A = this chain, B = another copy of it.
């Protein structure tokens, strides 16, 4: 008998298969919270991670937003980095080789302001070696349509997905925004347009102000909320997306510990991304991974696959008819 009262077994199988994408384990790092990986190499072995999703890359380098760019909120943070990044050329020349030297599995997060930009990025990345998948951030404003984010409309979301799909043979992940009325609708649209995998959620739109200076706490006024505060929202979105599509889903939002990650797997995510937690504890992702393995042993499970999607939602009592779900 093991310390936790269960039988010792061989190490549980952590490998997960997400459509065309096979990962050594389901713990990834979220774009924008893990730099280009090298920032963390003092703290952990990048090769241990399911994958490193790099900071969102655009065709041209971007300077990002004016400061202040980040601010703390209860159990969360707001950011308006403004997608500062080195651009695809420097990424390929400097960042990707450094990640490859460290044997990291690399997923490249891409962004643009038109379908053409997304397509051009996918094309430029197609021949580069050492990229396991593309993740398309569709929370960016579509400049042709008055700056409304691609991801808030099923039609534009589908068009971006198609544009990328046509240029890449790589596993294609589309990353959804939670700032929509019906995330299942967007999920179905991008699945139909060729997404192999859906990841969600990106940050929740939010804002903070300083009552003394009477100024916004972010120069950009609006920012994206992340961290533990949004975990319930993320879990709900993943649950809705899992029920809306048949492709695999990657859960993101507020994951700090293995138990948090397990919540996402339980509702049906096939993998997770650790985001803001990396900023607070640079070892967060490997701690999640270690805790996951410990949990599987404790529960006597031979593989993480056995656990994924096993939520039991049957209710012992009749629901009150016509109740306003989740609104008091």
Q: Which residues of A contact B (CB under 8 A)?
A: 31-32, 55-56, 62-67, 73-76, 78-84, 111, 113, 137, 139-141, 143, 149, 152-153, 177, 179-182, 202-209, 211, 214-216, 219-225, 227-233, 235-236, 239, 254, 259, 262-263, 266-267, 295, 310-313, 315-320, 322-328
Contact = CB atoms under 8 A, between A and B. Distances in A.
A293 B55 CA distance: 45
B317 A219 contact: yes
Given A219-B315, A225-B233, 18 more contacts: A66-B320, A73-B228, A73-B232, A74-B227, A74-B228, A80-B323, A82-B323, A83-B324, A83-B327, A83-B328, A137-B328, A140-B324, A177-B327, A181-B181, A207-B239, A209-B235, A214-B310, A229-B229
A311 B215 contact: yes
Contacts of A73: 228, 231-232
Copies in the complex: 2
Contacts of A67: 317
A224 B327 contact: yes
Contacts of A231: 73-74
B220 A319 contact: yes
Contact of A203 (B80, B316, B326): B326
Given A208-B263, A211-B263, A317 B66 contact: yes
Given A202-B328, A233-B225, A323-B62, A267 B207 contact: yes
Q: Name A's interface SS.
A: loop
Contacts of A225: 232-233
Contacts of A207: 232, 235-236, 239, 267
A285 to B, nearest CB: 18
Task: Report the 4 A-B pairs with minimum CB-CB distance, sorted nearest first.
Answer: A206-B232, A66-B317, A75-B75, A74-B228
A170 B262 CA distance: 50
A308 to B, nearest CB: 11
A205 B230 CA distance: 11
